[in-house]
Amino acid sequence: MSSTGSGPVTRVWLDPEKGFSDDVPPQKRQLALALRALCRLLRSTDPDEPGDIPPLQGEVAGRLECSADSLSRYLNTPRIPSQEFVKRLYAAACSDTAASGQSVGITLESLLDLHASALSERRGCGSCAKTGGQPDAACAKCADHERRRRQDAMRLRSARREAARLQAAVADLKAEQAGLRERLTAAETRALLPVPRPPRDRQQSAKDSSAARQVAAQAAELNSTGHEGHAFTLIRQSTAEVLTPAETAQVVVELRLHPGGDRLADDLIHVYGRDQEKQDVMAVAVGLHDEGATDDAGAILRAALRTRAGSAKS
């Protein structure tokens, strides 16, 4: 804020002596001068300020629904505001001067003509001013500008549709992730409770155990002779293509019983949780829990959860 003698108080940003840089073209200068004059008619609504004090730049920006930086650009740089901004400023100036009966000094029509001329100047076409700033169909520059404007509008609409689609996809993934977390929490909670194991068909249990023991034993033998890659390939293909989820759970349990089998079991848990369908992963987790391997049950669920969380981010 600055003042001279006992004259009226003037804000620095409203200084009538403030000039323009060389890059501001003539028609934009005329529009900016008119906008500055309207801003000087505005009064502060701050209850702590005297009623006749000019408002701060930030206060005016808030009333005009823009940032203080944008307001400064409209008044001092080549940047041209929207027609809606010009109308809001004019309405605010009329409202603040109505009580005193003071005139704003310009009609809205004249102000909009200045705005149209500034737009025409920016396009490099003087004929647009004759149509109120609307593109002239007979002008090649106007036609090119209108074509680019429509293309930009189409791209914007397409981007908004894509953003909406992505938001919906993210929401679905978050819901699926939340479901996995709930099931993981439930599985870990059940592991802490003394729940009796459900009865199982003895013949089916024996079948599961027999196939699982055979695969685990063959893999352990390969692993012990230095063929770790072949051992894991056998396990991976068997569990993915031949064995049921219940048998896969038994393979994990059996591998833990063989020397050097822990690493094979850990790798199987990671790969199976990452690659297989979530219903199969859940079935394996239940089987592991039933076998008392609660840590492995939680680990395979976490592997599945990490995979789906990573897919959601990408």
Lowest mean pLDDT among 37-46, 143-152, 269-278: 143-152
Contacts of 119 (CB under 8 A, 6+ apart): 80, 128, 133
Provide the residue ranges of all domains of the chain, joining segments of one domain with +: 26-122, 207-309
pLDDT for 306: 83
How many percent of the chain have pLDDT more than 70?
A: 79
CATH 1.10.287 fits 26-122, yes or no: no
pLDDT for 81: 95
How far is the C-alpha of 99 from the C-alpha of 112, rounded, in Å? 24
The torsion defined by the Cα of 104, 108, 114 and 118, in degrees rounded to 10, comes to 120
Percent of the chain as helix, strand, coil, to the nearest 5: 70, 0, 30
Averaged pLDDT, 71-76: 94
Residue 168 has pLDDT above 70, yes or no: yes
DSSP state of 129: G
pTM of the model as a whole: 0.41
Helices (H), 99-240: 108-123, 140-192, 202-224, 228-237
Lowest mean pLDDT among 3-17, 111-125, 152-166, 198-212: 198-212
* Residue pLDDT, tens place only, 232-286: 899 999 888 888 999 999 999 999 999 988 999 999 999 998 988 889 999 999 9
Residue 77 has pLDDT above 90, yes or no: yes
- For residues 298 and 266, is the Cβ–Cβ distance under 8 A? no
pLDDT for 267: 92
Q: How confident is the model at residue 200 (pLDDT cuts 50, 70, 90)?
A: very low
Q: How confident is the model at residue 71 (pLDDT cuts 50, 70, 90)?
A: very high
